Amino acid sequence: METQYSDKLVTISRETITFNHYYLWGRKTVPVSQILKIEGMKPDINNGQWRIWGTSGPGGWMPLDWRRPSRDRIFYLYYKHKKFQIAFTVEDTPKAEEALKQLGLMG
């Protein structure tokens, strides 16, 4: 499995995206085939800038990131067949965005 992008928070490969601090002591891996799209948003109080870990509103979850308030982008992962979302951050936004674009997940 070839890694497209990796940091302490997330690992993006051609087949999966792994969130390293999704659960209290564990990770969550999502197959790329289950992802409809990923959108990047400028962080603000309404979309989770100050949410360090936990729910991101009805039907969503944010993996742990102590530095989320200072990040420049929050990514929202939308599943193909679920209304559930994952809102996540990365350490190097330009590199992560490029990897997601290469996978066809971002426009």
Strands 60-62 and 85-88: parallel
pLDDT digit string, tens, across residues 51-107: 999 987 778 899 999 999 999 999 999 999 998 999 999 999 999 999 999 999 997
pTM score above 0.85: yes
Given this model, what pLDDT does residue 43 score?
94
| Buried b or exposed e, range 32-42, using 16+ CB within 10 angstroms | eeebeebbbee
